[in-house]
Amino acid sequence: MENTQWLDERETGVWRGFLEASQLLVASMDRHLVRESQLSGAEYAVLAPLSEHADGVVRARDLGKSLGWDRSRLSHLLKRMEARGLLERKNCSSDARGLDVEITPAGRNAIELAAPGHLEFVRTHFFDQLTRDEQDALASVSRKIMATLQPECD
């Protein structure tokens, strides 16, 4: 405790501002998605990469890793989404222990209907608020932060 380097007033303001802005942005985005498309932010996060693959299939392990979610969280969400008909879970053809996740026509329709409104929200509440230089600076800062955390996540 004696050697703790406490945040000064400016650092405290920067840190709290970042946390508040990022939490408010994510919460607002989630509410917007549910209101406009009946998809939660987590469901959108699962459907987006599935829809971007030509065959609509991603290994569950890879999906969880790309989202930064633990196996339990992903498993519960996939089960709920499968019950809604948005995706199917299938045994992996290349690894008997693995699981593939495949988007269904209903899931593809849901993401295609949600995407335009979601992108409009992101543009309005994120990109339109930043200059190109600020966007570049934020991208650089994000890469630096992620690089310090990456070993922890692997």
Taking alpha carbons only, the member of 72, 116, 107 closest to residue 87 is 107
Confidence band, pLDDT 50/70/90 cuts, at residue 92: confident
Q: Which structural domain, as residue segments, surrounds residue 59?
A: 39-153
Residue 124 lies inside a defined structural domain of this protein: yes
Ramachandran class of 37: left when φ > 0, alpha when ψ lies in -120 to 50, beta otherwise: alpha
- For residue 46, the domain's CATH number is 1.10.10.10
Residue 118 lies inside a defined structural domain of this protein: yes
Neighbours of 121 (CB within 10 A): 17
In the chain, beta strands by DSSP E: 57-59, 87-91, 99-103
Confidence band, pLDDT 50/70/90 cuts, at residue 44: very high
- The string of pLDDT tens digits covering residues 129-154 is 999 999 999 999 999 999 998 755 54
Distances from the Cα of 1 to the Cαs of 5, 71, 102, 128, in angstroms? Answer: 9, 35, 50, 42
Neighbours of 77 (CB within 10 A): 19
Q: Do the bridges between strand 99-103 and strand 57-59 make them parallel or antiparallel, or are there none, so unpaired?
A: antiparallel
| Dihedral sign of CA atoms 107, 63, 29, 119 in order | negative
Number of domains in the chain: 1
pTM for the full predicted model = 0.86
